[in-house]
Amino acid sequence: MAEIKYEIVKNIGVLSKSASGWSKELNLISWNDREPKYDLRDWSADHEKMGKGVTLSQDEVLALKALLNSIEL
């Protein structure tokens, strides 16, 4: 399996942290030297390991924002 190259361009924020030290974060990440995208996933404290996540384009983030703004909590 080929190595995945990534660069966290901007850390936008942490949604939660677990007792094990992992955190669920929203970041702007460049995957394999491509244009950065918004990424939501779990990360180890040193950002060397990651869990499964969701990567979204700017248009998808704007659509998600509109959906979230439309719901009542």
Predicted TM-score of the model (pTM): 0.90
User: Tell me: the pLDDT tens digits for 39-68?
Assistant: 999 999 999 999 999 999 999 999 999 999
CATH of region 6-70, choose from 1.10.3720.10, 2.30.31.70, 3.40.50.720, 3.30.565.10: 2.30.31.70
Sequence spans of domains, the chain: 6-70
CB-based burial of residue 48 (10 Å sphere; 0-12 exposed, 13-18 middle, 19+ buried)? exposed
User: Tell me: the pLDDT tens digits for 10-44?
Assistant: 999 999 999 999 999 999 999 999 999 999 999 99
**CA nearest to 37, candidates 64, 15, 7:** 7
